[in-house]
Chain A
Amino acid sequence: MPNRGMFAATRGWAPTTAGDAGTGRCGYDHRTMTTAPTLDRWPLVGRRLDIELFVDALDEPAISAFVITGPAGVGKTRLADECQAMAVVEGHATARVIASRAAASVPLGALAHLLPAWNETLEAHAAFIVALYELAAAAPEANRPVVIMVDDIHLLDTASLALLDHARHVGAAFLVGTRRADEPTTEALATVLHDPAATEYPLAPLARTDVDTLLHLALGGPLEGSAGAELWSISQGNALYLRELTMGAVSSGALIDDGGVWHLQGPITSSHRLRELIDERIRGTGDKGRVVLEWLAAVGPTGRSELEAMTTIEALDALDAAGLTEITEDGRRRTVSLTHTLHGEVIRAGLPRLRIRTLLREAIARVDGHGARRRDDATRVAMWQLAVDGRADTSVLLHAARAARAAHDFAEVERLAAAISRAEPNLAEAAALLGEALYELGRFDDAEAVLARAHQVATSDADRVHIASARARNQFWGLVDPTAAAGTLDAVRPLLTDAADRDQLVSIEASFLVFDGDPRGALRRIDAIEAAPSPRRQALRALPEAPALTVLGRTFDALAIATAGFEAHMALGDQLLVAHPGTHIVAQALALTHGGRLDEADQLAHAGYDIAISDRVPFSQIWFALELGTINILRGRPATAQTWYRDARTKARATGLRGPLTMALSGAAMAAAQLGDVTGAIGARDELLTLTDHGVRFGFLAHEQALGVAWAHVAAGQLPAAHALLVEQGDAAAAADHVISASWLWHDALRIDPESTVAERLAGVAAASDSPLLAARAEHAAAVAAHDGEALERSAATLASLGLALVAAEAELAAADGFRRDGDQRRGQAAATRAELVLAGCEGARTPRSVRADTIVPLSNREREIALLATQGLTSRDIGERLALSVRTVNNHLQRVYTKLAISNRAELADALGLDGGPTP
């Protein structure tokens, strides 16, 4: 459940009068709260240079008018307002005139509020000038021209314009006008614009960087990449569009604030106001343009030569120049399409149904008349036919559905497959495609219903494999019901005649075993796939085998198998229905991570994530984001880890994949805790616990979920509880052969309590594994247990060489304590300095052992625990309650801490411990 509005405060940018909107408070804090953008007025961005040019013009005696010209929505009025505010700063008196069609019918109507009572028009000139001089005399800098802002100057009546022009010529006024570029210019206005004393200032749309900055400031926080790209692509820097789109997306729930980051969760649809804006823009293209736009909206992309037959070349060029259409070249063919689907949506909404049908019939007749010219003409005709009368040529549509599936456009697959299924309910492939699409769209119950029925009508083995694998996947990942998934596969296997088909199901079954927490069972299961080498069997075996081996600590073998599996899979093309080749890359990155090759893992996971984004495969995006979170947490970069875990969390919520969601929540809790963000850590932990309380049991690396819970305990100051949980879950992981999890859990237990007796256990799992990461943790634990400064120093070097910066710094600090205890101040200082250098790259991490204490006598565990809680702003009473100590004991501990740190009070504590900033609110 997205927490939209959960922290939404009502504070926004305070609406301001003329002047800078930046005075509004924007209460966003990454850690605790965000601001719902209920903004009356967005901050001014990207227009400072324009304002400066205006001020230059104002200061220039030879200039007396500054007319801002541009299309609707580009920000002319806003700029003119700001110019007027600057004129006030410069000591000018100001006035404002709003021209409108209504006011234009009354001569001087727009100026009425500036004119004293007068009797005849002749006197109006004189009266107006006198009124202006009075205004000017009262201004801070007396006798400067009154700056008059005229909004929509093209609508101003001729008499008013003549009066203003006169005032300008006698030096009583300076005009700031706004003018719509697409509106006709009256002769009187043209005269003003051609006057050398007038500057016509064409206003361009906002640049892309400015759009980014504007969104960041208006929303009060960062925006996920694809959301920013989408808003840019539709608005093209038009400020009004941008605002309408953004506000519309926020109110429709398409754009949501998830823990301080804005994500696009659904399609951006058109608000009423935006429809008006787009309508207005389309009307501006005239009838000749409109014909083309309607055609493109109803029919879709069309050859340029065909359109030339419908309208004039000039009209087509004008649409292109206006950015409403775009041309793609494919060989010699030039195809015209609407620049944005939103425009198509608005145009279609404004067309009567009958008109759309007529256009589609005409399109069908054209293709029938000319014969098919393009490869996809048959599909296009079938789709048009479907839209006209609901009739479907199923074979053509099935072909289109397959193509949409290959492009991962599951909304389109659903539309097509549903249409086919309505026409031919017993077509198993269509039902399989439909069920699969519903699963991908997160509608798991609908998918189960469709696939259960599809299973009944399947006649070929290929269909049975396709349906069974889709249904089992939906049951396992969507409904989180491993037993049902296994049942589905069991029921189908005996029906299959071909061993190759059975192999596919075995591969899925074994994968489910891995992801249900039984890596050994998975390895036993794949023995049912014949080992005789063939690319197909190799790819199928690798899918479960590589992650299973990594979990068991055999990272070298896992990497080799995943790499070979990927190559074999790629060589097969799309013969395998069961998995995306990218799955092997997920497995490779997993093996590299737990094999301690973090740089390579990071590169690979980044590349994988980018591919998954461009291929639109959310499932892979979630896995790569989870891996990037893990890689960064291991490297001691909790802030970066947090962004990845949050990304995984948002995508897992959006797709309804609750298994991976548990991993994302645990990671998010861990990252927040290591950043000292208590609220964030506890929030993520509680959401995780709610999920598991509701029976969401996800077996893959399941024990690692305790990491998030334990680190949230740490953030809350409950170190003993955290330690106990980590040791307990480490033991459980070891018992289940989850070697890599056991190592991580026990090692974090040691990081929380150096007295922990986990050294031997860590040595045991390290011996069972080939991973240098596990070996380095065991070395660290042994050095801690021996209280040996030199060994700790060596261990820190090992950890640093693997890129585990934060843990390396913790080891250096422990070494520094050890040296000092032994009276070796020099080496103690050197180790502490190295720790500090390493910590500088750790993004503000604050773990119990990374807290610097430049003391001769090191702090005890209890002192550290209490000192940390005190830096979080807890009173002695709060600390006492948390740790079940008396207030007096807490104060005694704190006094000893102050003495050791040579400080006198709480306020100096954070600084003395090397923590940035004060307590988290």
Chain B
Amino acid sequence: MTPEQIALVQSSYAHAQDKLPELGAAFYRQLFTAHPEVRELFSTDPEIQQKKFTDELSEIVASVHQLPTFLETARELGARHLDYRTRARHYGAVGDALLAALIEVLGPDATEDTIAAWRLAYNLIAETMQQGAAEAARQRAMRG
């Protein structure tokens, strides 16, 4: 990502601060519409789930410009997703749903540049999370 793209992701997210509940709801709606089969992976109350999602997203977005913090947060989150039986293909589906939800919630702020920056940011997050998950899986295997 370029520094400008990082700033764009953070500023567009800051602009959406008062619309986070909508973002969470839109995300799950988009995800379940495109991939009804993943619905079963979520057992929590949808509202709590949505809040959890935007809380985690907020934490990660806030640290994109500080790599050590970012890596730690994203890897930890990825390791947790190992328990949720999250697979590599799910990460792609989640990315698509997130971008669609952002387009919906940001409205006219969702310019081509903004969405392109988010696409890169999401890839960075997803790759780092999966790194964390793979590492956790390896450590578990070593411990037996």
Q: Does any Cβ of B come within 8 Å of A224's Cβ?
A: yes
Are the CB atoms of A46 and B127 closer together than 8 Å? yes
CB-contact partner of B89 in A27, A30, A49, A837, under 8 A? A49
Closest 4 CB pairs of A and B: A22-B131, A643-B3, A48-B88, A28-B67
Are the CB atoms of B88 and A52 closer together than 8 Å? yes
B-side contacts of A72, CB under 8 Å: none
Output the least CB separation between B135 and chain A (Å): 5
CB-contact partner of A841 in B14, B68, B92, B128, under 8 A? B14
A-side contacts of B140, CB under 8 Å: 89
Contact with A along B99-136 (1 / 0, CB 8 A): 00000000000000000000110011001101110110
CB-contact partner of B10 in A21, A89, A221, A843, under 8 A? A843
Known contacts A85-B138, A841-B11; is-contact A261 B3 (Cβ 8 Å): yes
Q: Does any Cβ of B come within 8 Å of A210's Cβ?
A: yes
Are the CB atoms of B67 and A88 closer together than 8 Å? no
Are the CB atoms of B6 and A222 closer together than 8 Å? yes
CB-contact partner of B3 in A23, A44, A646, under 8 A? A646
Bound together, the chains give a CA A843 to CA B17 distance in angstroms of 12
CB-contact partner of B135 in A20, A223, A228, A646, under 8 A? A20
Given contacts A209-B119, A216-B124, A841-B17, 19 further A-B contacts (CB under 8 A): A20-B138, A22-B135, A26-B67, A28-B68, A29-B68, A30-B66, A48-B91, A85-B134, A88-B141, A89-B138, A140-B141, A212-B124, A223-B2, A637-B7, A639-B7, A639-B65, A640-B4, A643-B6, A841-B15
> Which of B7, B14, B17, B127 is most buried by chain A, counting CB atoms within 10 A of its CB?
B127
Output the least CB separation between B24 and chain A (Å): 18
CB-contact partner of B2 in A27, A86, A222, under 8 A? A222
Are the CB atoms of B68 and A212 closer together than 8 Å? no
Q: Does any Cβ of B come within 8 Å of A220's Cβ?
A: yes
Bound together, the chains give a CA A228 to CA B6 distance in angstroms of 14
Interface of B is mostly: helix
For chains A and B in complex, what number of residue pairs have CB atoms within 8 angstroms? 119
Bound together, the chains give a CA A216 to CA B64 distance in angstroms of 11
A-side contacts of B144, CB under 8 Å: 140
Within 8 A of A (CB), among B1-59: 1-7, 10-11, 14-15, 17-18
Output the least CB separation between B5 and chain A (Å): 8
Bound together, the chains give a CA A646 to CA B3 distance in angstroms of 10
Are the CB atoms of A30 and B67 closer together than 8 Å? yes
Bound together, the chains give a CA A221 to CA B92 distance in angstroms of 24
Bound together, the chains give a CA A587 to CA B43 distance in angstroms of 59
Are the CB atoms of B131 and A213 closer together than 8 Å? no
Known contacts A27-B68, A52-B87; is-contact A212 B1 (Cβ 8 Å): yes
Known contacts A140-B144, A209-B120, A640-B11; is-contact A22 B134 (Cβ 8 Å): yes
Bound together, the chains give a CA A840 to CA B131 distance in angstroms of 31
Bound together, the chains give a CA A217 to CA B87 distance in angstroms of 22
Within 8 A of A (CB), among B65-107: 65-68, 71, 75, 87-89, 91-92
A-side contacts of B68, CB under 8 Å: 25-29
Are the CB atoms of A49 and B120 closer together than 8 Å? no
Bound together, the chains give a CA A48 to CA B91 distance in angstroms of 10
B-side contacts of A44, CB under 8 Å: 131
Are the CB atoms of B123 and A49 closer together than 8 Å? no
Are the CB atoms of A639 and B10 closer together than 8 Å? yes
Known contacts A22-B75, A212-B123, A840-B14; is-contact A43 B138 (Cβ 8 Å): no
Are the CB atoms of B89 and A222 closer together than 8 Å? no
Find the B residue at minimum CB distance from A224: B2
Bound together, the chains give a CA A333 to CA B77 distance in angstroms of 56
Known contacts A30-B67, A216-B124, A217-B127; is-contact A222 B3 (Cβ 8 Å): yes
Known contacts A140-B144, A217-B128; is-contact A209 B1 (Cβ 8 Å): no
What is the size category of the interface that chain B forms with chain A?
Answer: 35 or more
Between A and B, 25 residue pairs with Cβ closer than 8 Å are A19-B135, A19-B138, A20-B135, A22-B128, A23-B135, A26-B71, A43-B131, A48-B134, A51-B88, A52-B87, A89-B141, A209-B120, A213-B124, A220-B67, A222-B1, A224-B3, A225-B2, A225-B4, A639-B65, A640-B11, A643-B4, A646-B3, A841-B14, A843-B7, A843-B10
A-side contacts of B88, CB under 8 Å: 48-49, 51-52
A-side contacts of B124, CB under 8 Å: 212-213, 216-217
| Residues of chain B at the chain A interface (Cβ within 8 Å) | 1-7, 10-11, 14-15, 17-18, 62, 65-68, 71, 75, 87-89, 91-92, 119-120, 123-124, 127-128, 130-132, 134-135, 137-138, 140-141, 144
| Residues of chain A at the chain B interface (Cβ within 8 Å) | 19-23, 25-31, 43-46, 48-49, 51-52, 85-86, 88-91, 140, 209-210, 212-213, 216-217, 220-225, 228, 261, 637, 639-640, 643, 646-647, 837, 840-841, 843, 916
Output the least CB separation between B66 and chain A (Å): 5
A-side contacts of B14, CB under 8 Å: 840-841, 843
Find the B residue at minimum CB distance from A227: B2
Find the B residue at minimum CB distance from A839: B14
Are the CB atoms of A20 and B131 closer together than 8 Å? yes
Output the least CB separation between A644 and chain B (Å): 8
Find the A residue at minimum CB distance from B122: A209
Bound together, the chains give a CA A635 to CA B2 distance in angstroms of 21
B-side contacts of A213, CB under 8 Å: 120, 123-124, 127
Bound together, the chains give a CA A908 to CA B61 distance in angstroms of 24
Bound together, the chains give a CA A322 to CA B25 distance in angstroms of 46
Output the least CB separation between A677 and chain B (Å): 11
Find the A residue at minimum CB distance from B142: A88
Bound together, the chains give a CA A673 to CA B79 distance in angstroms of 36
Are the CB atoms of A216 and B11 closer together than 8 Å? no
Are the CB atoms of A212 and B3 closer together than 8 Å? no
Bound together, the chains give a CA A28 to CA B17 distance in angstroms of 28
B-side contacts of A639, CB under 8 Å: 7, 10, 65
B-side contacts of A52, CB under 8 Å: 87-89
Bound together, the chains give a CA A759 to CA B117 distance in angstroms of 43
B-side contacts of A25, CB under 8 Å: 68
Find the A residue at minimum CB distance from B4: A643
B-side contacts of A840, CB under 8 Å: 14, 17
B-side contacts of A49, CB under 8 Å: 88-89, 92
A-side contacts of B15, CB under 8 Å: 841
Bound together, the chains give a CA A225 to CA B68 distance in angstroms of 22
Output the least CB separation between B59 and chain A (Å): 11
Bound together, the chains give a CA A27 to CA B1 distance in angstroms of 18
Output the least CB separation between A905 and chain B (Å): 24
Bound together, the chains give a CA A21 to CA B130 distance in angstroms of 12
Known contacts A22-B75, A209-B123, A643-B3; is-contact A29 B141 (Cβ 8 Å): no
Bound together, the chains give a CA A472 to CA B9 distance in angstroms of 43
Bound together, the chains give a CA A415 to CA B3 distance in angstroms of 34
Find the B residue at minimum CB distance from A50: B88
Bound together, the chains give a CA A753 to CA B88 distance in angstroms of 55
Find the A residue at minimum CB distance from B17: A840
B-side contacts of A646, CB under 8 Å: 3
B-side contacts of A90, CB under 8 Å: 141
B-side contacts of A86, CB under 8 Å: 134
A-side contacts of B123, CB under 8 Å: 209-210, 212-213
A-side contacts of B67, CB under 8 Å: 26, 28-30, 220-221
B-side contacts of A88, CB under 8 Å: 138, 141
Are the CB atoms of B75 and A916 closer together than 8 Å? no
> Which of B10, B62, B88 is most buried by chain A, counting CB atoms within 10 A of its CB?
B88
